[in-house]
Structure 1
């Protein structure tokens, strides 16, 4: 029997994880990307694998699944490849600390952590002495703190590359510079996508194009409300050991869950293996406008200094930004599109795609094969009201080709 042919649109970490999972399961997998592997959103992230920022509900369940799977995936990679490739992932289960610096922040943080504990999250309240011991350079102006031992970090491009390389070892193929321009249907089913280099046929197509997923869906003839939400990060010069966990203020959870389009910032501070310190984060909806705004960087730096005053005077060597795939109800979109048989989606993770990637890939594989999913996948279904409207025109990528709906081939 011929193997099921799957085309994955997008070679970021979600596409890479899906390619690996499906290739190892025996599917015939081809990955298409309009640019290069891990070249867009994935390479502009911080590499967070978090449970700390998610309240009880479907996204937390997906995060918990993914957090369990990450060590298993890395162990499997270790058996099949070189130590250098696995080392490039920079897996660091260093844990996270959420800090409140106001009375109101403490009043929100502590009940939030209690609800997470009831959902199975390890969330440990810290007294002042424990906090000072864990983060000696942290501000003394703090009203509450919670330690999340299961928060972790990877180098995002390294992690995506390792997952994709494992998929290629399992037989998957990669074609870069292949932008999807439209679709071809036979009857009501999507049977091919069109690129500048010709048609690519398959049995199943997985839209894993991140912030561009809405545009890809539109070109295939089905609206999908995935919008870009921009974020920026500052990177310091290498420092002596200064930050030992992922540390962020309690406002971060509210910023993640907000749907506001104007600028929001919160302090997120963490070190990398190279000794640099990453300072985030911002969220704003500006379409695909990729201009760096000095006022945004200033706001990020000011919030970071409130948590770590000792960073004053430290040199920033670069700043970068990227687009997160935003969904109005803040849940990923995972599963088959009932409006266009043959089309599936794995997108809409906003800033959590690195952490949720391996769990998302597991769900895609289970749903495709008819296996009972590890968690309830119905909250992520495509046909929910929040995602069916399609993004407004303002969010489309500049200089994008004109709308090209699917063409139809006559056939049985």
Structure 2
């Protein structure tokens, strides 16, 4: 498998390209636009274990969390990634929510996640500007954050240093096959040959798969974020309402929103989050932004009156069972997929790349990759899903 074509130069594609190039493959990365300009550029940069229940996604998250510092340490220009192991705090504001949060945290502790309940005084000390109307708070010291574009471009630079070639403005329009196996891709500007092709096109992975002649039920799910003007230190962890876990796990098409508040090194504060299934409709909806702001103020009333300088939205690769898609396509030998992470793609990128590399090279991956297989019902349903 000397030549590999990676479709997509977002963070998943960049991480996969680097791992494969370091493993000795001749890698070509194709992107229809600019590197890290789509989903990656519209993320918050979360590297989380706090929002994942015990199971395969948490296993992948723990692997990725271990790998991220190692990966960044190996990149000479990784400063732009702004790695920040600041930890997270999950807050419940009702008695019912507190009971659910405590049960969730207990199950995570059994799975090896550090989760420490904070009393009122400890929470006030950790987040002095947050609400005091808290029924329960759990601290997750393993949670971290990166600057998504900085991390992705650092990974791409690492891939290029290892011999990979990056080609932008190359939109994939079809497959090149020989003997029932994919041997390259057709783009609007010519053919790119390879012994294997990796579909890492994020929310567009389903469309790319269709162009290559296979089905992959990965769809866009939209999210929005508000950004305040720079402020003095105000939010010291990633702080979010316990409802966030339910919003992430919901498959509903209508708006799912919860309070997520965190700062950046530039001093801005990010306010999220929302999830909507609206296709590729990229219009910002004032009503959605209002819901985000209102819920954020419940956690941080002190932010009332702070100017919001911009809002942005992006598409995430949604799969009905909320698990990534990592592995070979059984319908087209030589085609591989690394997608379907929805809003967790930044955090899971390092682990995903390591798993894909090991699978492609015939090695045992660091986690069981079976739950991420391409031929499971959520990814390849028997009937077309409306």
Same fold (TM over 0.5): yes
Aligned-pair distance for 1:372? Answer: 1.2
CA contact (8 A) 1:224 1:390 kept: no
Residue equivalent to 1:115? 107
Give SS of 1:385's match: coil
Q: Distance in 2 between matches of 1:391 and 1:345?
A: 21
Give SS of 2:151's match: helix
C-alpha deviations, 1:340-367, integer Å up to 9, x for none? Answer: 0010000000000000001000001100
Task: Work out whether 1:241 is the aligned partner of 2:239.
Answer: no
Aligned-pair distance for 1:285? Answer: 0.2
Residue equivalent to 1:205? 197
Q: Distance in 1 between matches of 2:74 and 2:177?
A: 38
Task: Work out whether 1:195 is the aligned partner of 2:193.
Answer: no
Over the residues paired in the alignment, what is the CA RMSD in angstroms? Answer: 1.2
Residue equivalent to 2:172? 180
Q: Distance in 2 between matches of 1:249 and 1:224?
A: 33
Task: Work out whether 1:72 is the aligned partner of 2:70.
Answer: yes
CA contact (8 A) 1:214 1:391 kept: no
Task: Work out whether 1:279 is the aligned partner of 2:271.
Answer: yes
Aligned-pair distance for 1:137? Answer: 0.8
Partner of residue 332 from structure 1, selected from 305, 313, 324: 324
CA contact (8 A) 1:49 1:356 kept: yes
Residue equivalent to 2:290? 298
Task: Work out whether 1:315 is the aligned partner of 2:307.
Answer: yes
Give SS of 1:386's match: coil
Give SS of 2:272's match: strand
**Range that drifts further, 45-54 or 194-203:** 194-203
C-alpha deviations, 1:341-398, integer Å up to 9, x for none? Answer: 010000000000000001000001100111111110000000101101399798xxxx
Partner of residue 57 from structure 2, selected from 48, 56, 59: 59
Residue equivalent to 1:24? 22
C-alpha deviations, 1:197-223, integer Å up to 9, x for none? Answer: 111110000000000000000111111
CA contact (8 A) 2:29 2:166 kept: yes
Give SS of 2:266's match: coil
Give SS of 2:378's match: helix
Query: Please, which runs of 5 or more residues in structure 2 have no aligned partner?
Result: none
CA contact (8 A) 1:225 1:391 kept: no
Q: Distance in 2 between matches of 1:391 and 1:334?
A: 22
The 5 Å alignment of 1:109-148 reads: 109-148=101-140
Q: Distance in 1 between matches of 2:382 and 2:181?
A: 20
C-alpha deviations, 1:232-281, integer Å up to 9, x for none? Answer: 00000001110000000000000000000000110000000000000000
TM-score (norm 1): 0.92
CA contact (8 A) 2:184 2:196 kept: no
Give SS of 2:223's match: strand
C-alpha deviations, 1:29-54, integer Å up to 9, x for none? Answer: 00000111001000000000000000
**Range that drifts further, 188-197 or 62-71:** 188-197
Task: Work out whether 1:381 is the aligned partner of 2:373.
Answer: yes
Task: Work out whether 1:229 is the aligned partner of 2:227.
Answer: no
Give SS of 1:19's match: helix
C-alpha deviations, 1:137-159, integer Å up to 9, x for none? Answer: 11011000000000000000000
Residue equivalent to 2:43? 45
- Deviant stretches of 4+, over 6 Å: 390-394
CA contact (8 A) 1:223 1:390 kept: no
Task: Work out whether 1:157 is the aligned partner of 2:146.
Answer: no
C-alpha deviations, 1:120-178, integer Å up to 9, x for none? Answer: 00000110010000000110110000000000000000000000000000000000000
TM-score (norm 2): 0.99
Give SS of 1:8's match: strand
Aligned-pair distance for 1:86? Answer: 1.7
- Specify whether residues 67 and 391 from structure 1 end up closer, same or farther in structure 2 by C-alpha distance, changes over 3 A only: farther
Residue equivalent to 1:356? 348
Give SS of 2:33's match: coil
Query: Please, which runs of 5 or more residues in structure 1 have no aligned partner?
Result: 395-412
Residue equivalent to 2:34? 36
CA contact (8 A) 1:270 1:279 kept: yes
Task: Work out whether 1:5 is the aligned partner of 2:14.
Answer: no
